[in-house]
Amino acid sequence: MPTSSDSAELFFDLLHEPLIGWRDTHGEMHQSNLPEVLAALAANQLRDFPRLRPHQRHPWHAFLVQLAAIALHHAGQTQPWLLAADWREALMALTPDESDGAPWCLVTPPGRPALLQAPVPGENPASWNNLLHAADALDMLVTSKNHDVKAARARHAQVDDWLFALLSLQTQEGFLGAGNYGISRMNGGFASRPGVGVATVGAWGQRWQTDIASLLGQRERIATNYGLAHEGGHALLWLLPWPGTEALALESLDPLYIEICRRVRLAAPQGRIQAHTTGSKVARIAAKDSNGVTGDAWTPIDTAKGKALTVSRNGFDYKLMSELIAGDGYTLGAAWRLDGWPQDAALQAIAQATVRGQGKTEGYHERRVPLSPKLRRLLAGGQRQRVAALAQKRIQAIADMRKLLWNSLALLFANGENSSGNDAISNRASRFAQPFEQQEDSRFFDDLAHHVEAEGDQQDAVYLHWLLGLAQRAEAVLLQAFDAGPRSGLQRYKARSAALSRFHGGLRGGKKPPFPELLAHYAQQRAARASAPEGQAAHV
């Protein structure tokens, strides 16, 4: 039990002090404690958190959802409370052995739990090997030579800056050298913790509430399917002492557990927060063999491989998003729900991830794809394969068009000659072809939705119209590249003529025509011109 002297050493109490900055739906700024933030979310009054960095969005959302769901389940409730006092009582009930609220403070004596920081009885964190003075230095981002996100610049950070950085480290960090182990909810030390789900378009509280309902509704299924404790499991892992030599078994954890992966203790000499960190002999959770398959509500699982999704440097491009939305290659988590929504609800698929590499970061990626009522009816009503087939057909068409464009560009840059084996020309053609695919990526789902919304024979017409536009956009890229091609007169005309000839020849035929719809369309045009009266043929 805590003593009075221990209680005097508690600082930055999130249960009572207004330490978290947020804006309401009218854009007005507020400073609140954690129970008040949860109450604002329950009332759907909260729009965003201005000091939250983009890569911290999913960890913070997941934390607020998991914490609320754990508290509601513990209290036997199904609906979020609207009063901050009720939330405060519920959070205190999760830590009955800590009557002074130490587990909800950012700074406590080393032998006692602090928020997202395990107790380290008998140790002096001041003697640990790392001391960090900036909040962003604690965060999980790995930067190199300060090229992208500047390192350790938040030396005058607010308290919630430290909170968000600590949460980012403890709930989405991977392996970073000996003694620095990552979280259980990712497939390997160099993977990522994705955040994939379905939500309504609107304020932060809407998604928070629906995700809580999904977690509570699937809690038993998660426990059964992933070998977690149905009742009595560890939910808030910072409550348990951790000397760095002991790992927790998955079966000892609550289905909605909030983990920590590093030994960190915050201190506040002269009122300014700093962080002491050190390594551990083992990971906090013994989950290496699980490959990230832990029942996380926002993590898709590669069905065939039995591994959590690892997002590549390409992020959530149109290929991956198509597979997540309509394919059968991934088993999606509890936060992916297409049924049970109001008919007029404006839904979107949300995908977020900070992509990690070996000793580096491959960028933060976020994508939101609108899900029309008809599209979600098809996806939820047994026609998922049809949508997947339409998406795959378009993906293949983009790949074939890019290949044709690349071949034409390579011929242009080779002055109309064979460029086989010339790496410089190949790289140049790839560089000029890349914007084409990026452009198609940005419009892919709007075009696909138009295709899906079409009825009957209109679908063929919609697809042909899109295919004609695809060819026009590819040709525009080729024409723009003419300025970078040969400049001398003879070579310039030869190269341009050869490139255009290859491009248009590829559209209209070949041994295995990649675009049979275009081939039929052009043939129909030729037949119409041939049969038209002499004065009208030019207009067909």
If DSSP codes are grouped into helix, strand and coil, which group holds residue 331?
Answer: strand
pLDDT in tens, 234-244: 999 999 999 99
The pLDDT, as a whole number, for residue 2 is 60
Mean pLDDT of 269-296: 96
Q: What's the pLDDT score for residue 456?
A: 79
Amino acid (1-letter code) at residue 167: L
Average pLDDT over residues 389-408: 96
Average pLDDT over every residue of 22-49: 97
Share of the chain above pLDDT 70, in %: 93
- pTM, rounded to two decimals: 0.92
Give the pLDDT of residue 492.
Answer: 86
Report percent pLDDT > 90 for the chain.
Answer: 77
Confidence at 158, pLDDT banded by 50, 70, 90: very high
Is pLDDT of 41 > 70?
A: yes
Residue 144 has pLDDT above 50, yes or no: no
Characterize 255-267 residue by residue with b for buried, 16 or more Cβ atoms within 10 angstroms of its Cβ, and e for exposed: bbbbbbbbbbbbb
99: nearest Cα among 111, 86, 112, 87: 112
Query: Quick one: average pLDDT of 341-352?
Result: 91
| pLDDT given at position 529 | 82
Tokens linked to 487: 């400049």
Q: What is the pLDDT of residues 399-421, one digit of tens each?
A: 999 999 999 999 999 988 886 77
pLDDT at 8 over 90: no
Query: Quick one: pLDDT band at residue 145, thresholds 50, 70, 90?
Result: very low
> Residue 267: which H helix or E strand, with range?
strand 263-267
Q: Is the separation of the CB atoms in 447 and 465 below 8 Å?
A: no
Residue pair 229/252 in contact by the 8 Å Cβ criterion: yes
Instruction: Report the Cα–Cα distance between both ends of the chain, in Å, rounded.
Output: 89
Alpha-carbon span 100 to 451, nearest angstrom: 59
Q: What is the mean pLDDT of residues 278-295?
A: 96
Please check the confidence at residue 117 and state whether its pLDDT lies above 80: yes
Q: CA 11, CA 477: separation in Å to the nearest integer?
A: 59
Of the candidate ranges 98-107, 191-200, 273-282, 528-537, the one whose mean pLDDT is the lowest: 528-537
Identify the weakest region by mean pLDDT among 92-101, 137-146, 254-263, 303-312: 137-146
Q: Round the average pLDDT of the chain to a whole number and report it.
A: 91
| C-alpha–C-alpha distance, residues 125 and 134, integer Å | 17
Structure tokens at 401: 């068009």
The answer to whether 48 touches 23, Cβ cutoff 8 Å, is yes
pLDDT tens figures, 191-240? 999 999 999 998 899 999 999 999 999 999 999 999 999 999 999 999 99
- State the average pLDDT over residues 295-311: 96
Q: Per-residue pLDDT for 148 more than 90?
A: no
Q: For 56-85, what is each residue's pLDDT tens digit?
A: 999 999 999 999 999 999 999 999 999 999
| Confidence class for position 505, pLDDT limits 50, 70, 90 | very high
Give the span between the Cα atoms of 245 and 239, in whole angstroms: 16
| Average confidence (pLDDT) over 463-489 | 91
